């Protein structure tokens, strides 16, 4: 059973509102939830804590999952080859053996990895058309193709930021996926991601015009059910550890924008698609109107 402190940390980290929690614990009143997490109840009833704990455990399992084990990524979140199917570093990471009747056999068509992929190895991978992967701590992760809503949201935010930079003759550059971001290029180069949108203010990080070496200043990810674990935990942790200043998670299905301001005490702010969201790396002078974006998406 989780403690109140542990549940409060989860609530704050993932921007869960009291209303959302109450929907998952229908027989616990919202006033009780507010009092417990607000620190106004010294000894909450055990039955209430058990109900709340079940909700948070279910939330973590469904949306976040067991990401880290003893400091390493959990095995059920990466594509790891069986011993007989390991690929050497630098070779193709896709098993292309064909079965005449059923197509690929066994786990074929999935991405197989072994510990130790670097950017150099990643750049040599021979992937089927349309298949995209990212590397985190030397492991490969298969990425889902973005849908139209995903593209619309990222595209609209891109144009707003680009126009702001051009109007103010800014030095930063906004880029859309696919662009390789080598988050730890100077520490083994074993984490390469492709965020949906980034803003880079240090031109030296783009000197080769092929990829970004180091952390962008701003990162936005449009999340889906299949990408939540990566975007909300693994990538968020990596971005914070490597110097990203601001990180946005846009969850269209759940009408939610989560903003992580890593420069200001890791502040987390929740918004909806009715809100205008200020961009902190521009001191709030640049604002993204998500109501307008939603209207465009649904037009």
For the stretch 166-193, pLDDT in tens is 999 999 999 998 899 999 888 888 899 9
For the stretch 196-219, pLDDT in tens is 999 999 999 997 888 999 999 999
User: Which range among 60-64, 184-188, 234-238 shows the weakest confidence by mean pLDDT?
Assistant: 60-64
DSSP alpha helix (H) spans, the chain: 4-13, 18-24, 30-37, 46-59, 119-124, 148-167, 228-229, 235-241, 290-297
How confident is the model at residue 6, as a pLDDT? 83
How confident is the model at residue 152, as a pLDDT? 96
Q: What angle do CA 191, 212, 153 make, to 5 degrees?
A: 90
The mean pLDDT of the chain is 80
Residues pairing with 47 in the sheet: none
Q: Is 127 exposed, middle or buried (0-12, 13-18, 19+ CB in 10 A)?
A: middle
How confident is the model at residue 39, as a pLDDT? 83
Using DSSP's 3-state secondary structure scheme, residue 243 falls into coil
For the stretch 1-44, pLDDT in tens is 788 888 888 887 777 788 889 888 878 898 899 888 888 888 88
> Rounded distance, CA 260 to CA 268, Å?
5
Residue 64 has pLDDT above 70, yes or no: no
Tokens 């594509």 locate to 79
| DSSP letter (8 states) at residue 128 | P
For the stretch 264-278, pLDDT in tens is 888 889 899 999 999
Using DSSP's 3-state secondary structure scheme, residue 25 falls into coil
Helices and strands (H and E) in the chain: how many:
9, 17
pTM above 0.85, yes or no: no
Residue 90 has pLDDT above 60, yes or no: no
- CB atoms closer than 10 angstroms to residue 227: 19
> Rounded distance, CA 36 to CA 38, Å?
5
> Rounded distance, CA 177 to CA 141, Å?
16
How confident is the model at residue 232, as a pLDDT? 82
Residue 84 has pLDDT above 90, yes or no: no
For the stretch 93-132, pLDDT in tens is 444 333 333 332 222 333 444 457 888 888 887 777 777 8
125 is written with which tokens? 């991978």
């Amino acid at each position: 059973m989780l403690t109140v402190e542990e549940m409060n940390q989860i609530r704050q980290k993932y921007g869960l509102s009291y209303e959302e929690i109450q929907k998952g614990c229908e027989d616990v009143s919202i006033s009780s939830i507010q009092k417990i997490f607000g620190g106004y109840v010294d000894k909450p009833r055990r039955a209430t804590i058990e109900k709340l704990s079940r909700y948070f455990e279910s939330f973590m399992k469904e949306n976040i999952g067991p990401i880290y084990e003893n400091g390493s990524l959990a095995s059920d979140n990466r594509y790891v080859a069986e011993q007989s199917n390991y690929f050497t570093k630098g070779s193709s990471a896709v098993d292309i053996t064909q079965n005449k009747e059923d197509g690929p056999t066994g786990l074929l068509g999935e991405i197989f990895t072994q510990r130790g992929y670097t950017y150099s190895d990643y750049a040599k991978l021979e992937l089927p058309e349309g298949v995209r992967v990212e590397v985190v701590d030397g492991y490969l992760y298969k990425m889902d193709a973005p849908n139209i809503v995903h593209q619309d949201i990222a595209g609209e935010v891109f144009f707003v930021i680009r126009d702001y930079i051009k109007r103010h003759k800014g030095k930063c550059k906004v880029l859309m996926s696919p662009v390789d971001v080598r988050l730890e290029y100077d520490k083994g180069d074993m984490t390469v991601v492709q965020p949906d949108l980034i803003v880079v203010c240090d031109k030296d990080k783009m000197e080769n015009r092929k990829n970004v070496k180091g952390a962008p200043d701003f990162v936005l990810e449009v999340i889906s059910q299949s990408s939540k674990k990566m975007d909300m935990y693994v990538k968020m942790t990596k971005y914070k550890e490597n110097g990203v200043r601001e990180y946005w998670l846009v969850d269209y299905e759940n009408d939610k924008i989560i903003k992580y301001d890593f420069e200001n005490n890791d502040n987390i702010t929740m918004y909806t698609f009715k809100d205008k969201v200020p961009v902190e790396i521009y001191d709030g002078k640049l604002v993204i109107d998500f109501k307008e974006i939603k209207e465009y998406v649904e037009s």
